[in-house]
Each structure stands twice: as structure tokens, then as C-alpha cells.
Amino acid sequence: MDSQNLRQRSGDNPGVTPAAVSATNEKSRNRREKRMEMAKRGLRSLVISVSLPLSLTLLNIYLFGSGRGYGAQPKPFWFPPLWLLHTACLAKSFVMGLSAWFVWADGGFHVKPTACALYSTYLGLSLAWLPTVFWMGANGTGLLVSLAMVATLVGCSRDFGKVNPIAGNLVMPCLAWSAFLSIVNLKLVFL
């Protein structure tokens, strides 16, 4: 092998100027910074979309969830205890907030404005059910509220699923729990 014909490779490309290298590095740095900013905004919006309904539900439980009428009534064995009702309501708020965030992140509230209206209606109904049944003792009205909640969750599942299938599937356990609450509420009407 003839060592006189070999050239030493250097890290620099002879055709690339230092200004071009710094411009390329600047572009990649800008892209990285934009991605980090988008990730921060996404995380911030996720925290808001989950914590807002969760904190409203916590406040609702604190103010109206004593269950003065629910705990004193004789109930069948399959009625959930008060702590389980509150925990399930908190879990339902968390899951629905996460599901709504998935829809929002995919731009679904702009594409399907009915999804936003259904979610807002569901949130209002879920916040109204607890004081109606536990604080006021209006079991008949609570049954109507819980049935309306089931209907809005069916609509949310349909609309959320069209935008993001994961979001539509996340609504299903909330729908099952709300249907169970409707059955419990129906039994409370006839007690």
C-alpha cells in the first residue's frame, strides 16, 4: 500500500464553511427548544385539564359529601360505602379529565364542538349529583341527574372516540360507574 497517496481525514469538510456549520447547529438548537416548549405546554395543559375537575370534585365532596341521608338509611348489601362512592367519583373525574385532554390535544374540540359541550354538561351534572342526593336527599331528582349523566357520557364516548380512540375507551369505565350509580339511585327512590 502506498502511504504517499493516502490523505489524512480531518473533521472538517473542505467544502463546508464554519458559518454554515454554525447555522446548522443553530437550526437544530431552535428545533430542540421549540420541541421542549411544546412539551412544557402539553404538560401544563395536561395538569390543568386533570386537576381542575379533580379539585372541583374534591371541593364538592368536602362541602356536600357527608351523606347524612345516605348513611342512615337501610340499604341492600350491594350498595357501595360512602368512602367508595367518593373515591370512585374522584377516579371518574381524573379519567374524564385525561380523556378530555386527549381530545383537546388532537384538536377535537375545534373539529367536534359538541364534544366540548357534552363534556361540560357531564362535568356540571357530576358536580350536581352529589349535593342533590347526599345533601338535599332528593333521590328522584338525583335519578334524573344520573340518567342525564349516563346520556352525556354515551355522547362523550361517541364523540371522543371519533377524535381519539383512546379517549373514547377511557370514557367506558366512567359510563359503567355512572350506570351503576343510576341503579343505586333508582333503588334509593324506592326505599
Please say whether the dihedral angle defined by the alpha carbons of residues 9, 14, 16 and 18, taken in this order, is positive or negative: positive
Sorted by where each begins, the domain ranges of the chain are: 50-189
Q: Is the confidence at residue 77, as pLDDT, over 90?
A: no
The label of the residue with cell 334509593 reads 188
- CATH class of the structural domain 50-189: mainly alpha
Q: Is the confidence at residue 88, as pLDDT, over 90?
A: yes
Question: Residue 145 and residue 147: Cα distance in Å, rounded?
Answer: 5
Say what percent of the chain tops pLDDT 70. Answer: 74
- Residue 79's pLDDT is 83
- Residue 64's pLDDT is 83
**For the ranges 24-28, 112-116, 169-173, 180-184, which has the lowest average pLDDT?**
24-28
Q: Is the confidence at residue 71, as pLDDT, over 80?
A: no
pLDDT, tens digit, for every residue of 116-157? 999 999 999 999 998 888 888 888 999 999 999 999 999 999
Q: What is the pTM of this model?
A: 0.75
Q: Which long-range contacts (CB under 8 A, 24 or more apart) does 166-172 make?
A: 166/102, 167/99, 167/100, 167/102, 167/103, 167/106, 167/108, 168/99, 170/95, 170/96, 170/98, 170/99, 170/102, 171/95, 171/96, 171/99
Question: Residue 107 and residue 50: Cα distance in Å, rounded?
Answer: 17
Model confidence at 109, in pLDDT bands (50, 70, 90)? confident
